[in-house]
Structure 1
Amino acid sequence: MARGVLYPGRQVEAVVTGRHAPSGEAARFVELYWHVRWRVDEPQDSKVLSYPSVHLVFEEPEPLVYGVVRDLFVRRLEGEGQVLGVKFRPGCFRPFLDGPVSALADRVVPAAEIFGPEVAEAGRDVLAHRETADLAVPAERFLLDRLPEPDPVADEVAGMVDRLIARPDLFRVDQAAGVLGVSTRTLQRLFAEYVGVSPKWVMRRARLHEAATRADAGDAVDWAALAADLGYFDQAHLVRDFTATVGVPPARYARSA
């Protein structure tokens, strides 16, 4: 399971996942194509700690665009089905829009509103396949015909997000601004316009991803030491932060992951 998927052990028998890398010009905008196929006897919820990325998802009954989900993303799986998602690089969905990406935060909109009615036919073509690479081909073909002009600022912001994600020990926005070589105000403005969420949210989510990944590994976790590594004031601060988003304390999550 990909990093950020919670309780991965519960899904291995009922859910098949795949990832496929973009090619050519699409790689400037797209981080990866992800594929989920499931068959469940009883409905189950898939829970994800989202990344600061916008997704175009080819699914039934229509393709949708998902803005960054700031809380816990929950998808109910029922019966049998599949979806193919296009995960855009953080900041790199902005060239497809007429306004800031923050307008999409916590929202799901019909993809036709952004990509036009042709996206419905593309969705049928995508979902006619079953293997990840085969689904990705028509999805990428659709995107390549509609790529906007490259935006150097989007590329710059994507690099900023990558650097913050790689530094879960960063806790304050002024720290992040110093590492990135910009003012705090500039950083906040760029993230609202291009990423859709604040730099503080990105840093907090990076810490939660790291905590969940440690818990999923199955090894004993020294939560006090991890809290210190991630820049929390103390273990209690980590526990409050994790519980507020995931719904259970990290130690309890580790026991049931």
Structure 2
Amino acid sequence: MLRAMLRHAPASRADVARLTGLSRPTVSEVVRDLLEEHVIVEADASKGVGPGRPGTHLAFHPSGAQVIIVDLSDPRHLDAALSTPGGNVLHRHRRAWGHGGSRPADVIEMIGEVEGQAGGNLVAIVIAASSHAEVVEEVRRAVRVPVHVFDPADLAADIEYLLGERGGGSLVLIQAGADVAVAVRECDAAGVLLERPAGAGRLSSSTWSLEELAPSLAVLATALGVPQVIVSGEHARRLAGMMRSAVRSPHVRVSVSDLDDSVARAAALAVALRPEQ
């Protein structure tokens, strides 16, 4: 339900039922819980044009529910942000990994520093990591809120699907950072996600250069039959340029992600991806 609200808020209960396919009683029950958790609020009544009582808009609480995301994908820096479901960034923090120290301790200390800036209800911590299993387990033991873990490329693909200008359509997401990862989101004709694959495919850029990877990635993107190829990450513009030259199909469009605040948007998305919702 929160996924639908991310794309369509403010929305009435009837709108949410229509967008999600949930029954009215189910929507009312979930809305009640989210209102109590201060994740959403009731806004001004909608302007109904027909008979009957106009519906009430539901919107994300501007500061009530807060999420911390910690991005472990950069081997040099540890990034974190405090955000609300609507994408409002309340605090941002970056620090170098400790030299010779404990990585779990570094992450837990940083979470504590960011949590100290939280002025509302902290509802989740999301960790963007393709490995670091020992870090995740230590964090789960140390904090009092749910911890969600996503592959960074999978998280970026979800963000593009839900919040990007091309959101809601099939796409291949290629994240070009310390390594290169590929995640696919495929939709039906109505823009409904068919399946959310678990785990992005990863290629080590220390073994292969971007120049060597670009032709193979172009062939892969064409073979997948998905028209949108979106490249994000530190080397996005460079890799996208090389892929455009390598793509042979006129039906495949390669572009650079237009979401320039992926850490904060991922934090907002973490709430929408809570399994119980």
- In the superposition, the TM-score normalised over structure 2's length comes to 0.28
Greater Cα radius of gyration, structure 1 or 2: 2
Greater fraction of residues in helix: 1
- In the superposition, the TM-score normalised over structure 1's length comes to 0.29
Greater fraction of residues in strand: 2
